[in-house]
Structure 1
Amino acid sequence: MATLDEALAIALDLHTAGRTEEAETLYGRILDAVPDEPNALHLYGLLCAQGGRLEQAAGLLGRAVAQRPGQPEFRANLAMLHQACGNPAAAAAEYRAALRLCPDSAALAFPLAGAARQAGQGGLALAAYRRTTLIQPDLAEPMAQAGILLRYAGRTDEAVSALHRAVRLRPDHGEAWHHLGVALQRTREPDAVTALAHAVALLPEDATVRLNLSRAHYDAERWSAAIAALRSALALDPANDGALELLAAAGRRAGGEEGAVRTLRRLLRLRPDTANGWHALSLSEPGALGSLRRALVLQPDHRSALSGLANRLRDRQKITASLRLHDRAVRVQPSSAEARWNRSLARLLAGDLTGGWEDYEARWGVADFPTRPRGLPQPLWSGEDIAGRTILLHEEQGRGDAIQFVRYAPLVAARGARVLLEVGADLVPLFRGLPGVERVFARGEPSPGFDWQCPLLSLPRAFGTRLESIPATVPYLTADPARTAAWRERLAGDGLKVGLVWAGNPQFAGDRERSPGLAALSPLLAVPGCRFFGLQLGPGHDELARRTMPPTFTDLAPAIRDFADTAAIMASLDLVMSSCTAPAHLAGALGVPLWVLLSHAPDWRWLLDRADSPWYPTARLFRQPRPGDWATPAEEAAAALAEQAAAYS
């Protein structure tokens, strides 16, 4: 009679010879005789796995491991079986146990990384990939996968280093070139295009690689190259949302929007059922609603189309309908910073400041938001007890935003905090002397230590500001007395003294709509009994060279060095008339009479359907009744100015 070892040897010979039924019979007899024989359990389990009986195999291999926990081969095979059964977490646990028994085995470390990655255990996966590369440094694949995980974790510099090593080890690794290009693109490195071009050559059928190459060209402002790469991506994936949207944007930037629109319309003729295509077309149709509505008919949960339609309804002052769509967009994608940011603007415009401030915090996650997060290690102050602590308040976005919200700095000091204020250099002289602010300094200068930090536009949320609790006491900024005295003497004379500003920063996305331009002010300049003083700086000042101005107009721009000069001039005037731009906020902060000409779709801070501002008690608002109509508010302002000039005289 054969011994146990002889029986196992015979069964294994049958197994390896493909005589699985005979082998299974013999394995069964061995286990009938010795139920816990580990080698028989292991081999029988492998035979069951080969036959697709995974559940039975898992049970047999599990029993084998229980009998021989120190046998790495048993654990590795059980790990592979767990992975085949769709249980990567259990697989990772077995691979880890096996690797502890054989710590120098790349053959265990590498599959452990894959199982951990499938199980969502990113830290373990990265550690296992790195361990594999330490054990066997000439392997490109674990190096590439480590780089990919580092990129996903936002550790871009480490990712670039690992991916560079991977492509040096294996120059034909298309996936590594792709992720290297994306990582380099994130840091705005010019080599991103080269890396992505390599990836395209190695992965010619991958539309995503071509899309990322087009984004790198787009970021480098190579519009033609971006469009070519996008068209090749769309040839592979005609309904690719990102490619369609970027094609429309690149077409606009290249000055060939008509060509981009033709491409989109051609795609839509081929695929009229693609919601992504209709949404992309809407980007080339500012103000139009039809393409967005078509996209939502096809895909009611299209987040970008929901937000886009909501924004356009907001601009048409259909605020209730806009908010309903914004709520839907947030429900569809609660993690979308853009959806919450868009909703914040509609909420604030509607006067829902409480909800608006909460959504407004999502701004830092918006891809094209004009200000990037500071990355300060100190915690964001959100209204906690701050007595005896030091806080840094710092500027963000535009100068007008800083002027509007610096009103909160003395309120923070009133809570017992030591307040430091960091702003643009041109604002430092203006903000010095704010009550309770210990130090005002320019961005880039060394700052003292601090315990808390808060961007200026997060302060209303920290104070729980509602419409009825806006801190609107003015003036909260004051002009330098010496400069003011000099300007009062210089501007002395008869007539109502009116300062004029007609344009904002053209880099602002909506400046064309919010800036009336000098020509629109013609009715004002014709009002008798007034002396007009140009306070316009920046590109808008160039309009003066193209117009003949009346003798009642004096251009003061050459004498203005900073906001403190502008403040001193404003303090010497009877009235400031401005578009929606920083000087309007400055006049309001100084408590100077202020008239603002507003577009039909105003910035959220001016609210809707009111002629006054809860932020600036001295302000009067003149609104467009319809988009593009500057004549109506200018004529209304001119009539009001004539009444004031007559009363002044």
Structure 2
Amino acid sequence: MSRADLLAAVQAEERGDLEAAVAAYANVLEQQPDCVEALSNLGAICVRAGQPEEALNFYTQALSHQPGFRPARLNLARTLAQLGRPDEADMHYRQALAQEASPALQVERLQQLVTAGRLQQACAEAETACASSPEEAGLWQVVGNARLYQNQPEAAEAAYRRALEIEGSARARANLAMTLLAQGRFDEAWPYYEARHDSSLLAHDAVRFTEYPWPRWQGEALAGKRILLMGEQGLGDQIQFARFIEPLAASGAHVELVCRAGLRCLLGSAPGLQACHAEAPMAEHFDYWSPLLSLPLHLDDKNPLRTWQYPYLQADAGKRQHWRKQLAEWAGQKKKIGVAWRGAAGNASNRMRSIATEEILELPRRLGAQAMFFSLQKDDASSGELDQLCRGGIIPLGDMQQDFSDTAALACELDLIIAVDTSVAHAAGALGCSLHILLAPGLEWRWGKPGSPHSELYPSARLHWKDSAEGSWNPLLSKLCEELARVWAQNSSA
């Protein structure tokens, strides 16, 4: 094999021609089956193509030929972490660090432990590392992340401020904003929160906007003006912050919104909104534009939990009628309960906020005699999981929800919704549905003080809290089942 063959494969990969790159790497391996560069790079292509399990095979083959090949070791660790196999991932991180000590890699390793929910271990090791390397800002960031998820926002704030003193990075400012929000210090938080747009952030951390032909709104008077709001971040964020459209419209502004395509019909019902787009209408005239989540920075009322009108979203009447009829045929006189037990995989705290499918089946096991359960999950489920749900007593309805207008209509015709911290919970809350939200403390500022059963964000919601972000959800699910059974018994005897 010539190095030119390998270089040609690398160049094809770099220009995004993955099909040509795969063919070129295969050609290299025909000539030299133990070429670790080709094997490792094929693994990286599998990850990019959404095939992480296949990537593991290539990384493992590369390491079988050359155990000291560090790129394959690091990629294997990252892919195992992505697949939710933290013990194996950590073993490979440690081996890579043993080959070459690197503060950046140690930070990455510890942050993976945080993401996996191993908060005590990550915090203890990061604090020990900070004692020996006090000027390594990334280690203080990890301490802050672990402390925040352990529901210790004051300790997290101290760690983030130390990181900010060392390097003044956008990531430190954005993280500091999160812990200030967790403490309800909204006026202080919003200026720091603007760091999420900083160009220095890595692509997966940053919020990017294109160049627009209109000036960005900085709090100017809006009476008689046209403003275009740009939705950003997760679906739940856009649903929550749609409440700020009404005060803009009340100031005399003509307000339009760009949001995720799947949200357009639902968010189009927000009070005061004139139009809702899936893409920016570049040919139209606007006086200003603004990121949706930047609105509190420039409004007099900076409380992101404030509701001017509740509920502030509405479901389509025709779709509600369809679901009313369909649910009555399925459930008869049983209570109709919707369930959403995991959030989007890209969220850093998703493993801590989500419930395993086996655990969520505790609900129909305990309450199935009185209620029929319906899955509101819109993500792709494997055929094995779909079979598990059906056998366990939860009817999957994901393929019957084309967008959030379908989810909204279905939610409004259910007797009750049980959800973790995900976009379904935000949609149901904004619609005023009867809602129970299952939460791990420390993961999200927007639900208020951990332990409180009341939601300032969505008054129709009742909050249920785990003791910590670590550990099983079974004790909390058991308590919820007992509470619902007791309430239903009281209602039936009344």
TM-score interval, smaller chain: 0.7 to 0.9
CA distance in 2, matches of 1:632, 1:254: 29
The match for 1:298 is 132
CA distance in 2, matches of 1:547, 1:395: 33
Q: Return the match for 2:234 from 388, 391, 398.
A: 398
- Provide structure 1 residue ranges, at least 5 long, that are not aligned to the other structure: 1-180, 192-213, 229-233, 236-242, 269-273
Residue 401 of structure 1 deviates from its aligned partner by 1.3
1:282 equivalent to 2:282? Answer no
Q: Return the match for 1:460 from 272, 275, 296.
A: 296
The match for 2:26 is none
Give the TM-score normalised by the residue count of structure 1.
0.59
Q: Does the CA-based 8 Å contact 1:278-1:291 persist in structure 2?
A: no
1:369 equivalent to 2:208? Answer no
Q: Return the match for 1:519 from 349, 354, 358.
A: 358
Q: Does the CA-based 8 Å contact 1:400-1:581 persist in structure 2?
A: yes
1:641 equivalent to 2:484? Answer yes
Q: Which has the larger radius of gyration?
A: 1
Note the alpha carbon deviations across 1:502-526, whole angstroms, 9 max, x for none: 2222233332221113322233212
Q: Does the CA-based 8 Å contact 2:236-2:426 persist in structure 1?
A: yes
Q: Does the CA-based 8 Å contact 2:448-2:456 persist in structure 1?
A: no
CA distance in 1, matches of 2:113, 2:398: 37
The match for 1:326 is 160
The match for 1:23 is none
Q: Does the CA-based 8 Å contact 2:390-2:396 persist in structure 1?
A: no
Q: Does the CA-based 8 Å contact 2:343-2:354 persist in structure 1?
A: yes
1:253 equivalent to 2:79? Answer yes
Residue 459 of structure 1 deviates from its aligned partner by 1.6
The match for 1:569 is 410
Residue 430 of structure 1 aligns to a residue in which SS?
Answer: helix
Q: Does the CA-based 8 Å contact 1:517-1:540 persist in structure 2?
A: no
The match for 2:458 is 616
CA distance in 1, matches of 2:283, 2:485: 50
The match for 1:629 is 472
The match for 1:534 is 375
Note the alpha carbon deviations across 1:71-127, whole angstroms, 9 max, x for none: xxxxxxxxxxxxxxxxxxxxxxxxxxxxxxxxxxxxxxxxxxxxxxxxxxxxxxxxx
Residue 477 of structure 1 deviates from its aligned partner by 0.4
Residue 291 of structure 1 deviates from its aligned partner by 3.3
CA distance in 1, matches of 2:230, 2:196: 16
CA distance in 1, matches of 2:153, 2:410: 38
1:505 equivalent to 2:344? Answer yes
- Pair 494,284 (structure 1): closer, same or farther in 2 beyond 3 Å: closer
Residue 628 of structure 1 aligns to a residue in which SS?
Answer: coil
- Provide structure 2 residue ranges, at least 5 long, that are not aligned to the other structure: 1-9, 18-39, 49-54, 63-67, 82-87
**What aligned pairs does 1:182-581 form with structure 2 within 5 A after superposition?**
189-190=15-16, 248=74, 251-253=77-79, 257=89, 258-268=91-101, 278-283=106-111, 285-286=113-114, 287=119, 288-334=122-168, 336-365=169-198, 366-367=201-202, 368-369=204-205, 371-443=207-279, 448-467=284-303, 470-471=306-307, 473-492=309-328, 493-525=332-364, 526-527=366-367, 528-540=369-381, 543-549=385-391, 553-581=394-422
Note the alpha carbon deviations across 1:268-291, whole angstroms, 9 max, x for none: 5xxxxx755643553454432243
Q: Does the CA-based 8 Å contact 1:379-1:453 persist in structure 2?
A: yes
2:340 maps to amino acid:
V
CA distance in 2, matches of 1:441, 1:306: 41
- Pair 436,359 (structure 1): closer, same or farther in 2 beyond 3 Å: same
Higher relative contact order (CA 8 A, sep 6+): 2
Residue 539 of structure 1 aligns to a residue in which SS?
Answer: coil
CA distance in 2, matches of 1:278, 1:190: 30
Name the stretch that deviates more: 613-622 or 512-521. Answer: 512-521
Note the alpha carbon deviations across 1:113-164, whole angstroms, 9 max, x for none: xxxxxxxxxxxxxxxxxxxxxxxxxxxxxxxxxxxxxxxxxxxxxxxxxxxx
Residue 591 of structure 1 deviates from its aligned partner by 0.5
Q: Return the match for 2:439 from 598, 602, 617.
A: 598
Q: Does the CA-based 8 Å contact 1:472-1:616 persist in structure 2?
A: no
**What aligned pairs does 1:103-114 form with structure 2 within 5 A after superposition?**
none
Residue 330 of structure 1 deviates from its aligned partner by 1.4
> How large is the Cα RMSD of the aligned pairs?
3.7
CA distance in 2, matches of 1:295, 1:414: 52
Give the length in aligned residue pairs: 428
1:643 maps to amino acid:
R
Residue 634 of structure 1 aligns to a residue in which SS?
Answer: helix
Note the alpha carbon deviations across 1:524-545, whole angstroms, 9 max, x for none: 2122422322222213575232
Q: Does the CA-based 8 Å contact 1:499-1:575 persist in structure 2?
A: yes
CA distance in 1, matches of 2:398, 2:99: 50
Note the alpha carbon deviations across 1:45-88, whole angstroms, 9 max, x for none: xxxxxxxxxxxxxxxxxxxxxxxxxxxxxxxxxxxxxxxxxxxx
Residue 391 of structure 2 aligns to a residue in which SS?
Answer: coil
Q: Does the CA-based 8 Å contact 2:191-2:297 persist in structure 1?
A: yes
CA distance in 2, matches of 1:219, 1:387: 52
Give the TM-score normalised by the residue count of structure 2.
0.76
- Pair 376,219 (structure 1): closer, same or farther in 2 beyond 3 Å: farther
Q: Does the CA-based 8 Å contact 1:275-1:298 persist in structure 2?
A: no
Residue 250 of structure 1 deviates from its aligned partner by 6.1
CA distance in 2, matches of 1:575, 1:253: 38
Residue 465 of structure 1 deviates from its aligned partner by 4.1
